[in-house]
């Protein structure tokens, strides 16, 4: 039963991520899809994801598949609320539909049906590689980091389009319950800002679940402390975001953006720390040039954080001083990233599974920092210098640069965490 519960929670949030992301893309006013097309695409992707997650011998069976999809449907009610109110005047919420409760119950039942259908369809496909003892808490940590990544991307679009004050009140939306505000026909700036808030609630629920689960099962006290800090930062993010709206503060907007990136980095670190590789690794081999590896990975992480601060300053203030600092310091980040990557790639041996992970991380760092450097110049030359992008293409370029920067930060965090774990193992080996 514990295995079924763990799988249900983790797959529920993973499926919710699929549903919410596909809902966001299909409902984005720039896309211009009809209501029928939006519904069909979201349901099709939901079924595909449910089928994939129900496959393999790690599955808890039909019950786990149904429960996981019921969990995703319950989380999806936070989005469905926009469909449960009558249309009203511009920027206002109407009355709740008389059959709103029936619609909500039908949506939950649909989740159970998709879970059952996905399970049976998965049995018609080739069996996936089996994992006899999956760590569902570790997987939930990874899912939480992906949810935060999507939230950061939407937040980037909010900043790029200047939509941060499109909804002038908080925690309500134009005086209405934020979960019951109709988004059909909403302007793009209102849609982006309101959706950003909705995704923030999903991150909050995932973080609360991560904390409770960690406290219930994790034996390492320091990991529980990190889980508490994660939730504290997520709550602080929500409060700062709300005050940014109520006070119309550009400084709080910048702080909100920077702290969001830092929170993302800590959640990525949490996911790595919870992973089976981190917990099961044992000291066995000496590490060559360990001091160089530690110095480069640490410098790369610190430089990346400083660079994202410069970037946030320019995104929110658009002054030449922060722009020149961001451009000039990018050279330092690129150099440190490449040196840290090559140090990681030079690690030989297995080291309890950490060696291959570090080498893969180094390879990804080289690729992502190259893309980031190119995107930065494209954003500078093509995406315009005004605080607000004048067209969707400019907003997407700016946001792609910001989102890829978040990916680079995640890799810097992983390099730092895995290096520290490797060197601790090496110290233990030397002491033994």
How many Cα neighbours within 13 Å face the side chain of 302?
A: 6
pLDDT exceeding 70 applies to what percent of the chain? 94
What tens digit of pLDDT does each residue of 156-192 get?
999 988 888 888 888 888 888 888 888 877 888 889 9
pLDDT of residue 53: 87
The segment with the largest mean pLDDT, out of 10-24, 117-131, 155-169, is 10-24
pLDDT of residue 205: 97
More confident residue, 235 or 82: 235
Residue of 399, 21, 37, 41 whose CA lies nearest to 198: 21
Say how many C-beta atoms besides its own lie within 10 A of residue 253's C-beta: 24
Q: How far apart are CA 70 and CA 278, in angstroms?
A: 31
User: What's the pLDDT band for 217 if we cut at 50, 70, 90?
Assistant: very high
pLDDT of residue 291: 85
User: What's the pLDDT band for 386 if we cut at 50, 70, 90?
Assistant: confident
Q: How far apart are CA 313 and CA 333, in angstroms?
A: 17
pLDDT of residue 188: 87
CB of 146 closer than 8 Å to CB of 268: no
Whole-prediction pTM value?
0.93
Residue of 389, 8, 427, 343 whose CA lies nearest to 162: 389
Q: How far apart are CA 365 and CA 395, in angstroms?
A: 25
Mean pLDDT of the chain: 89
pLDDT exceeding 90 applies to what percent of the chain? 59
pLDDT of residue 353: 86
Polymer length in residues for the chain: 432
More confident residue, 2 or 360: 360
More confident residue, 235 or 94: 235
Instruction: Read off the pLDDT of each residue in 272-296 and give the average, rounded to a whole number.
Output: 84
What tens digit of pLDDT does each residue of 29-70 get?
999 888 899 999 999 999 999 998 887 555 568 888 899 999
CB of 302 closer than 8 Å to CB of 332: no
CA atoms 378, 314, 385, 186: torsion sign: positive
Lowest mean pLDDT among 117-131, 220-234, 248-262: 117-131
Cα 356 to the center of its chain, rounded Å: 24
Instruction: Read off the pLDDT of each residue in 405-422 and give the average, rounded to a whole number.
Output: 95
pLDDT of residue 4: 78
Residue 407 reports pLDDT greater than 80: yes
Q: How far apart are CA 333 and CA 255, in angstroms?
A: 21
Q: How far apart are CA 141 and CA 39, in angstroms?
A: 29
Secondary structure (3-state) at 96: strand
What tens digit of pLDDT does each residue of 250-278 get?
899 899 999 999 999 999 999 999 999 99
């Amino acid at each position: 039963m514990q295995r079924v519960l763990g799988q249900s929670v983790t797959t529920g949030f993973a499926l919710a991520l699929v549903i919410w992301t596909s809902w966001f893309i299909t409902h984005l006013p720039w896309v211009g899809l009809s209501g029928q097309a939006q519904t069909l695409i979201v349901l099709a992707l939901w079924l595909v994801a449910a089928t994939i997650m129900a496959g393999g011998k790690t599955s808890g069976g039909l019950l786990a598949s149904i429960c996981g999809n019921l969990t995703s449907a319950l989380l999806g009610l936070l989005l469905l609320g926009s469909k449960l109110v009558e249309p009203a005047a511009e920027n206002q919420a109407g009355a709740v539909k008389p059959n709103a409760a029936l619609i909500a119950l039908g949506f939950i039942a649909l989740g159970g049906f998709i879970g059952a259908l996905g399970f049976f369809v998965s049995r018609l496909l080739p069996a996936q590689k089996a994992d006899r003892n999956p760590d569902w808490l570790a997987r939930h940590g990874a899912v939480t980091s992906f949810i935060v990544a999507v939230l950061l991307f939407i937040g980037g679009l909010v900043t790029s389009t200047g939509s941060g004050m499109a909804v002038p009140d908080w925690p309500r939306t134009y005086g209405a319950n934020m979960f019951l505000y109709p988004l059909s026909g909403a302007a793009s700036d209102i849609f982006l800002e309101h959706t950003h808030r909705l995704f923030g609630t999903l991150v909050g629920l995932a973080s609360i679940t991560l904390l409770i689960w960690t406290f219930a099962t994790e034996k390492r006290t320091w990991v529980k402390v990190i889980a508490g800090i994660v939730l504290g930062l997520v709550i602080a993010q929500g409060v700062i975001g709300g005050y940014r709206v109520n006070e119309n503060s550009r400084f709080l907007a910048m702080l909100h953006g920077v702290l969001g990136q830092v929170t993302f980095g800590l959640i990525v670190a949490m996911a790595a720390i919870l992973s089976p590789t981190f917990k099961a690794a044992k000291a066995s081999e000496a590490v060559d040039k360990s001091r160089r590896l530690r110095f480069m990975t640490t410098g790369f992480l610190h430089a990346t954080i400083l660079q994202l601060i410069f970037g946030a300053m320019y995104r929110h203030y658009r002054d030449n001083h922060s722009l020149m600092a961001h451009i000039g310091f990018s050279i330092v980040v690129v150099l440190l990233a490449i040196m840290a990557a090559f140090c990681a790639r030079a690690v030989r041996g297995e080291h309890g599974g950490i060696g291959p992970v570090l080498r893969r991380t180094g390879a990804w760092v080289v690729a992502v920092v190259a893309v980031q450097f190119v995107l930065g110049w494209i954003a500078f030359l093509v995406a315009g210098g005004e605080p607000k992008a004048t067209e969707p293409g400019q907003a997407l370029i700016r946001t792609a640069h910001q989102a890829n920067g978040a990916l680079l930060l995640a890799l810097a965090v992983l390099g730092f965490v895995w290096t520290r774990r490797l060197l601790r193992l090496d110290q233990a080996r030397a002491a033994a």
